[in-house]
């Protein structure tokens, strides 16, 4: 099944359990099992791939393409995650906005302070934005690039 009890308009859901919790979100596109599963009121999100933007609840204007891409985002907006598990933090939720993760497993660390940062960029397979010696607006490029 797709799209739960929904009052939102102009949503597209293709796949099993896509936009299941959507209540009022508008203009969302979900393709792939569990894509945008918990979205409730977030709008203009695009999730393509198994469990992409899975945890997003109220965040808007996020784009995630790839298996579990952007899965950890909850309330952040304007985030971009491209690649296998890009932007996926296994043990924490991401609340920051305007972040870019490009490449397989590119992400911020599992620690809460970084998970809430905004304007972070990680480019390259395995590029990880790490808490220590790091501030909002940091950019890491490389395979794998890590700032510790």
Tell me the average pLDDT of the chain.
85
Gyration radius of the chain over CA positions: 14
Instruction: Give the per-residue pLDDT at 126.
Output: 85
**Residue 122 parent element (H or E):** strand 121-123
Q: What is the DSSP string of 78-105?
A: S-EEESTTTT--TTS-B---S-EEESTT
Residue with the larger pLDDT of the pair 62 and 144: 62
134 has a pLDDT exceeding 60:
no
Instruction: Give the per-residue pLDDT at 115.
Output: 67
Structure tokens at 107: 């992400």
pLDDT band, residue 148 (cuts 50/70/90): very low
**Total Cβ atoms within 10 A of residue 9:** 10
- pLDDT, tens only, 22-38: 999 999 999 999 999 99
- pLDDT, tens only, 65-109: 999 999 999 999 999 999 999 999 877 788 889 999 999 998 876
């Amino acid at each position: 099944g797709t799209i739960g009890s929904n009052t939102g308009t102009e949503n597209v859901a293709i796949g099993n359990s896509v936009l299941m919790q959507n209540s009022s979100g508008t203009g969302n596109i979900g393709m792939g099992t569990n894509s945008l599963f918990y979205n409730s009121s977030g709008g203009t999100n695009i999730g393509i791939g198994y469990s992409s933007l899975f945890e997003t609840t109220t965040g808007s204007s996020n784009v995630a393409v790839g298996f579990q891409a952007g899965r950890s985002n909850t309330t952040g907006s304007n985030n971009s995650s491209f690649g296998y598990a890009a932007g996926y933090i296994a043990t924490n939720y991401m609340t920051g906005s305007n972040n870019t993760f490009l490449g397989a497993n590119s992400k911020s660390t599992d620690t809460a302070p970084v998970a809430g940062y905004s304007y972070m960029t990680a480019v390259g397979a395995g590029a990880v934005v790490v808490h220590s010696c790091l501030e909002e607006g940091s950019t890491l490029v490389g395979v794998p690039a890590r700032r510790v």
